[in-house]
Structure 1
Amino acid sequence: MHDDLEFSADPARLDLDRVHTWLAEESYWASGRSREAHDAAVAASRNYGIYDRTSGEQLAYARVITDGVTFAWLCDVFVDGEARGRGIGVALIERIMATLEPLGLRRIGLTTADAHGLYERFGFTALEHPEQWMARTAAPAHAS
């Protein structure tokens, strides 16, 4: 990782206002997510950030939902628009994978519409048997 960046899994470091704005206003997958839903999701997840070492400013965020033993779901991966192109997304995923590796998880899942190349660098592939996967989606009453 760049010397000017710092990775942290400490939820106390999160700039929750900034992360909520990124996700609710700038992401395609969590557009309109309420602050209440955002805070509940953060509280129920492992949270990660990349920070500018000098200013302490949060530059990226991701969270993982997991039982810590068999399965994890990587989600809400976001890099601030002004920080993109510096390898911050790669650094974030690299460090998250390093924190999950010791758990011996059988499967780590995610969905993406536009970052396949990033995740392929870390061993993610298209589902081998997509017909075995199912999802139940909620009515769009509140974004999650």
Structure 2
Amino acid sequence: MTDDYIISTDKSRLDLNLVHQFLSQESYWAKNMPMELVRKAVDNSLCFGVYLADQQVGFARVITDYTTFAYLSDVFVVKEHRGKGLSKRLVQYIVDYPDLQGLRRWTLVTVDAHTLYEQFGFTFPDDPKLYMQRKLIDSY
């Protein structure tokens, strides 16, 4: 992977059209998500953009209280920039981020990227029966 890529938490750099396009059209987890919800999610999260020069090529966000808990969400690298180690670099950057140190628990949900996250200490819950969810079907 080249060092030409940078990661930034500066929300003013985010290309919300790119984030919306990927989430609403290419992801399996946020199909048809309206732009106003993408904007609200970004506004209320710690966001990480991956850039090649001024072009955004990746994204992730963390929902956190900065004290005890973090939920890693919406991680992606656009197709044209995959295979360069960017997702690994992004997740490493996030778990090393100074404001997220000392948390008691990190969580995430994935259908197909278990091997990526396992490299950074993510595991299946010790007792899945402890976890509950309230899931709204077709929320978009």
**TM-score, structure 2 length as denominator?**
0.95
Partners of 1:130 and 1:65 in 2: how far apart? 21
Give the AA of the match of 2:27.
S
What does residue range 67-86 of structure 1 map to in structure 2 within 5 Å?
67-86=65-84
Distance 2:139 2:50 in 1: 32
1:19-34, aligned counterparts within 5 Å? Answer: 19-34=19-34
Give 1:43 deviation, angstroms: 0.4
Q: Please name the residue that 1:9 is paired with.
A: 9
Displacement of 1:141 in angstroms is: 3.7
1:86 CA displacement? 0.6
Aligned to 1:62: 60
Residue 138 (structure 1) shift? 1.7
Q: Which residue pairs with 1:115 in the alignment?
A: 113
SS at match of 1:68: coil
Judge conservation of contact 2:66–2:100 (CA < 8 Å) in 1.
no
Counterpart secondary structure, 2:67: coil
Residue-by-residue CA offset, 1:78-103 (whole Å, 9 max, x unaligned): 11011111101001101011115753
Distance 1:88 1:14 in 2: 17
Which residue does 2:51 correspond to in 1? Answer: 51
Task: Tell me the distance in 2 between the aligned counterparts of 1:102 and 1:113.
Answer: 24
Aligned partner letter, 2:124: A
Contact 2:70 2:105 in 1 (8 A): yes
Q: CA deviation at 1:72?
A: 0.5
CA distance in 1, matches of 2:24, 2:51: 20
Partner of 2:91: 93
Question: By how many angstroms is 1:135 displaced?
Answer: 0.1
Equivalent pairs counted in the alignment come to: 140
| Identical pairs, percent | 45
Deviations 1:9-67 (A, max 9, x none): 111110010111011000000000001111111100000011003xx111100000001
What's the C-alpha RMSD, in Å, of the aligned pairs?
1.3
Q: Distance in 1 between matches of 2:138 and 2:90?
A: 30
* Contact 2:66/2:99 (8 A) holds in 1: no
